[in-house]
Structure 1
Amino acid sequence: MIESWRWYGPFDKIRLSEIAQTGASGIVTALHEIPYGEIWPLDTIRNRQAEIDNAGLGLHWNVVESLPIHENIKRGTGDLERLFSNYRQSMANLAEAGIHTICYNFMPLIDWTRTRLDAPVKRGGSSLRFDAPQMAAFELFMLRRQEAEADYPEEVRRAAANWFQSSDETARTTLLKSIMSGLPGAFDRYDIDGLRSALKNYEGIDQDELRGNYARFLSEIIPAADDLGMRFCVHPDDPPRDILGLPRIVSDADDIGWIMDQQKSLANGLTLCSGSLGANPANDVPAIARRFADRIHFAHLRNVAKEPDGSFEEAPHLEGDTDMVSLAAALVAEERRREAEGRADWRIPWRPDHGHELLNDAERANHPGYPLIGRMRGLAELRGVMAALGHEKVSYV
């Protein structure tokens, strides 16, 4: 498997020379500075590629994460033909540069949601956390979304009321900042009124309509991906549940099966994110990996520890609720199958997704969830698992 590392380019506090020292060889990045819906120019792609290649560190840009989808495509509004045309041209420019794997998501408005970015963990360090009562407090008492009451059980609503009544303005501001950290793109952030306004754009759009808009996107994009020899891989919802009144449609095995059926092409694939899928108590992540193994083109490997009220915390990579050895075995077994089949692209790129802030990570002000030392620990642990599986040369699945 190809050990890879997410890098935010000029916006990243972590340098390529430091990434090289982790042992990773693949760079997962994007042109975050280009507005959504605009074409990624070939010369801009090549310049970013040259920055990585010419560092002389044995690194290469192997996965795009992500080529973002404009909100109008998700809503099914506006000049869609132009947006689809621009998207296909960006794909063609990436393929011309030799980059053929694109991770993307179809989450409305917000890419991922956490309520705390620095939850303390035992033995030191901090992690990202989704606290269901705090999320409910945000929706019920700060955002004042009327329909939110139906989205949370009574015990969570009671805990939310208790949290809100005991919180001060600093705690509420910190909660808003944490939730806004999941907005896509570099830098748009909302206050409460701004978020209410943004959410209005999705009023009346339910799961069926969002699915219809997604199916149209796939019908416009996957044939072009086939022609270009590209691999598209959708990232699951994070968390895998409706939130802020926004429907989510990539949350479990049934959702993934629906997506794969829309375009029965190898180009229409999956980013296997064990952390996102693992936050849904109904998901058996290794089983999902085995079921969709032939359509997995990229993997995010991390772990979560779930709680009965719907809260979860990001756990060390080999701890938490997902059996990471079984999951890694499923991926290694699929690689062996592809290699035996004679596929040139038989190796699956993966990256250690997120990580605890450890030692002096907190001093660097990295992107939330993307510290240097915490991810390097996860990379090293998972590297050991995969080395053992490869050494044994047996299936394990």
Structure 2
Amino acid sequence: MCLKFKVFKIKVLKNKVSIMIKMQQTMRWFGPQDNVTLRDIKQAGAIGIVTALHQIPVGEIWSIEDIKERQQIIREAGLEWSVVESLPVHEEIKRATGAYLQYIENYKISLKNLADCGIKIITYNFMPILDWVRTNHNFINEDGSKALLYNQLAFAYFDVFLLKRPNAENDYSEEEKANALEFGNKLSEEEKALLFKNVLLGLPGSKINFTAEQILSLLDNYAEIDNTKLRENLIYFLSEVAPVAEELGSKLAIHPDDPPFSVLGLPRIVSTEKDIKTILEAVPLNANGLCYCTGSLGADPKNNLEKIIDDCGDRIHFLHLRNTFRESENIFRESAHLEGDTKMEVIIEKLLLLMNKTKVSLPMRPDHGFLHDVDEKTEAYPGYSLVGRLKGLAELRGLEMGIAYKLKN
């Protein structure tokens, strides 16, 4: 039997690191209803939990009582609630309409309540309506495991010919529309229904899909909001909440857009190196920081992931480590954590050097693991199966330990 091993060429720096600060190993947990239990996560080797109070409607205050109740459940399992993901931003804040000022005040109170409970890293995103989009949740790998995939032709077919979004045809070239229609004509009715369901999956951790009527109504609310306006609204939001977080000693970590380009005609403002620089410079407080997601940023080959680490430095507060493989200009899919287009060994080395410079151990979680056969028996969320993430965590921990050893010796 012939086994294939991937060989990493690890660059050894001349200046050795005497004291090595390492990442905090965490995993995401969607709460008591999650099929992946806290016991499972502890046995996987994580020490921290990344979670949120998904049961509280977006915009409402997270009370100290509710926070402590969840915190206690986690502590009883021998773990700590390390990172909030996410404290969601209400759509009226993103649009700066309706009761957005009250929702901002509620957000400040939730930040204070979390800080009072000792939870001070808060992830959020500013993506309108949809948190993330994939067209295929069950791409079959060579070994039979399943991965998430985005196909631009499939999405264009959904947008123009299935959802029939008003004026959607104006967002695509004639060639793109012709290719999308050719793609769609090969699908069965069942495959078309599955594509519709995949694209309109709700928030991570949710089993509820948007309907066509719901999504079209929500899209109407953004008809007059472009990138410039959405960015202005984000900066206003940050100008209000970041000073509060700074005073509390808390860290806000904005998650990049996923995918890092416009979908459904919606604005995108956290997709590129330039976007991130604009956001961090607009509100120059350490509390205004980044969730460094190698998967979301890496899906755009124009993003230089190494440079983002250099440029953002101590404004990186949380790490999502996953990998993607771009099959073509139109298709990217989730890959194994160490085998995609992103050179994870280079990223981890730079992150270790950053942490030892700032003296801060950054929380990290493996993201979007494959769905293996053993997890098919459970209702695992796309990208959030136990075994796939456990495999990713083990690979990342091993790679980190090897690089740390080289840096110290």
Distance 1:45 1:319, change over 3 A: same
CA RMSD of aligned residues (A): 1.5
Structure 1 residue 150 displacement after superposition: 4.1
Give ranges in structure 1 of 5+ residues lacking alignment. 340-345
User: Is it true that 1:84 corresponds to 2:109 in the alignment?
Assistant: no
- The alignment partner of 1:14 has SS state of coil
Question: In structure 2, what is the equivalent of residue 171 of structure 1?
Answer: 191
Residue type at the aligned position of 2:256: P
Q: 1:275 aligns with which of 295, 300, 317?
A: 295
Q: Does 1:97 align with 2:111?
A: no
1:20 matched to which residue of 2?
Answer: 42
Give how far 1:153 is off: 4.5
Letter in 2 for 1:360: V
The match for 1:315 is: 335
Contact 1:116–1:178 (CA<8 Å) still a contact in 2? yes
Q: Which segment is superposed worse, 382-391 or 104-113?
A: 382-391
| Number of the residue aligned with 2:84 | 64
Q: Partner residue of 1:2?
A: 24
Between Structure 1 and Structure 2, how many residues are aligned?
387
Give the match's secondary structure for 1:286.
helix
Residue 53 (structure 1) aligns with: 75
Q: Does 1:42 align with 2:64?
A: yes
Structure 2: how far apart are the matches of 1:163 and 1:87?
44
Counterparts of 2:229 and 2:207, CA distance in 1? 28
What is the CA distance between 1:146 and its match in structure 2?
4.4
* Residue correspondence of structure 1 range 376-395 to structure 2 within 5 A: 376-393=390-407
Match among 333, 346, 364 for residue 350 of structure 1:
364
Answer with 147-156 or 28-37: which moved more: 147-156
Residue of 358, 378, 384 corresponding to 1:364 = 378
| Correspondences of 1:101-112 after superposition (within 5 Å) | 101-112=121-132
**Residue 201 of structure 1: aligned partner:** 221
Residue 303 of structure 1 is matched in structure 2 by 323
1:179-190 residue pairs with structure 2 within 5 A?
A: 179-183=199-203, 186=206, 188-190=208-210
The alignment partner of 1:10 has SS state of coil
Contact 2:83 2:120 in 1 (8 A): yes
Kindly state the Cα deviation for residue 154 of structure 1 after the two structures are TM-superposed.
4.6
Alpha-carbon separation, structure 1, partners of 2:241 and 2:325? 36
Q: Do the aligned partners of 2:205 and 2:381 also contact (CA within 8 Å) in 1?
A: no
Give the letter aligned to residue 169 of structure 1: E
Distance across 2 between alignment mates of 1:182 and 1:249: 21
Tell me the TM-score normalized by structure 1.
Answer: 0.94
Relative contact order higher in (CA < 8 Å, ≥ 6 apart) = 2
Contact 2:90/2:103 (8 A) holds in 1: yes
Describe the superposition over 1:255-298 as per-residue Cα deviations: whole angstroms up to 9, x where unpaired: 00000011111100000000000111211212212221221100
CA contact (8 A) 2:202 2:208 kept: no
* Equivalent AA in structure 1 for residue 366 of structure 2: P
Structure 2: gaps (5+ residues): 1-22
**1:272 partner letter:** Y
Offset of 1:172 from its aligned partner? 1.5
Q: Offset at 1:188?
A: 4.8
CA distance in 2, matches of 1:337, 1:153: 48
Give TM-score, length-normalised by structure 2: 0.92
Which stretches of structure 1, 4 residues or longer, exceed 4 Å deviation after superposition? none
For structure 1, which segment, 183-192 or 213-222, has the greater mean C-alpha deviation from structure 2 after superposition? 183-192
Instruction: State the one-letter code of the partner of 1:305.
Output: F
C-alpha separation in 1, matches of 2:401 and 2:373: 27
| Paired position in structure 1 for 2:51 | 29
- From the superposition, tell whether residues 155 and 361 of structure 1 become closer, same or farther in structure 2 (CA, over 3 Å): farther
Residue 167 of structure 1 and its aligned partner are, at CA, apart by 2.0
Cα drift, residue 157 of structure 1:
2.5
Please state if 1:74 is matched with 2:94: yes
Distance 2:310 2:170 in 1: 35
Residue 384 of structure 2 aligns with an amino acid whose one-letter code is: Y
Distance change (3 Å), C-alpha of 1:117 and 1:143: same
Matched residue type, 2:42? A
Question: Which stretch shifts more, 277-286 or 144-153?
Answer: 144-153
1:182–1:240 Cα change, 3 Å? farther
CA distance in 2, matches of 1:182, 1:335: 35
